[in-house]
Amino acid sequence: MRISQVNVEGYAALAPMAGAADMAFRELCVSFGAAYTVNEMASAKGIVAGDSKTLALLRVSDAQKPCAVQIFGGSPQIMARAAVICGEFAPDVIDINMGCPAPKISGNSAGAALMKNPDLAEAVVRACAQATALPVTVKMRSGWDAQNINAVQLACRFEQAGAAALTIHARTREQMYAGKADYSVIAAVKKAVSIPVIGSGDVCSAQNAADMFERTGCDMVMVGRAALGRPWLFAQINAYLEHGQILPEPAVHERMRVMLGHVGRIIAYKGEYIGIREARKHAAWYIKSIRSAAALRREAGRIESFAQLEALAAKVVEIAEKHAQ
């Protein structure tokens, strides 16, 4: 797949999950075979204002490339200025968020709310595309609600406005993350435009990925929540699509090894105080589905140091081995 001049080799991209897909996780997923990553969404207003926490979300590393930074906002002028600033962080692509369903985003004429105002949404895309030499892409939903499925119409307008690729999360904003994704919307968008289309929604396994490719004709799939605590999902997708091979879930000791390496990377970037607090949710995701998971996740929510996390990992392995005997 080519996003303008950017070549992307592979099958699956990592979604821009706020509070989860930080640089440590993006690099980890690439090491397991993710072909493309998108940074956590950043406020255009915050970028233009020079807010340090917002600007930190734009950091990229060579280990996560090719990659996009994602911005959100409802003003074409501010979004364009933010796109220019984003270029200073050397991403490969700038992605516009038109899919976030959170009230604090969509309640301010940004995120998925832009889909309710096609003229403004198109103006945002055109302003960004004209402001930067980097490819500009859009991630959006099927529509605002079941009565307003307008992804196809918007896709055509965005292509004309200069968008280089589109990602379609095949749920409405009203659905949030519930219900099933409607792959027919992705298929319809793919038929309507000549630029690449990335499909998103319900890609939880290698077989799901193959099903999305077959049913939609999309150019790439995007993996979101299913990768949390399971970054090896990208390797499973690649093995299945390339060789028809079904890779099993890693053994518990291997999962814990990956978890510890992941958290170590977070600490290296953010320091132990912040890193350990963020590690609590990641540990819960890695432990999910393991025997005695509920009690172990509660324990993960109380860790205060990397040493405690190591002890928890050893306990998880010990429980798994005891029940395997």
Catalytically active residues are 100
DSSP string, 244-274: ---PPPPPHHHHHHHHHHHHHHHHHHH-HHH
CA distances (Å), origin 230, targets 130, 141, 290: 38, 24, 12
Gap between the terminal Cα atoms of the chain: 47
Whether residue 91 is preceded by a cis peptide bond, meaning omega within 30 degrees of 0, is: no
3-state class (DSSP) for residue 280: helix
Half-sphere exposure of 231 (CA within 13 A, CB side): 27
How far apart (Å, rounded) are the C-alpha atoms in residues 9 and 140? Answer: 23
199 close to 166: Cβ distance less than 8 angstroms: no
Closest of 227, 222, 223 to residue 167, by C-alpha: 222
How many CB atoms neighbour CB 244 within 10 A?
Answer: 9
**Residues, the chain, total?**
325
CA distances (Å), origin 109, targets 30, 174, 263, 300: 33, 15, 35, 37
Both tokens assigned to 279? 């590690």
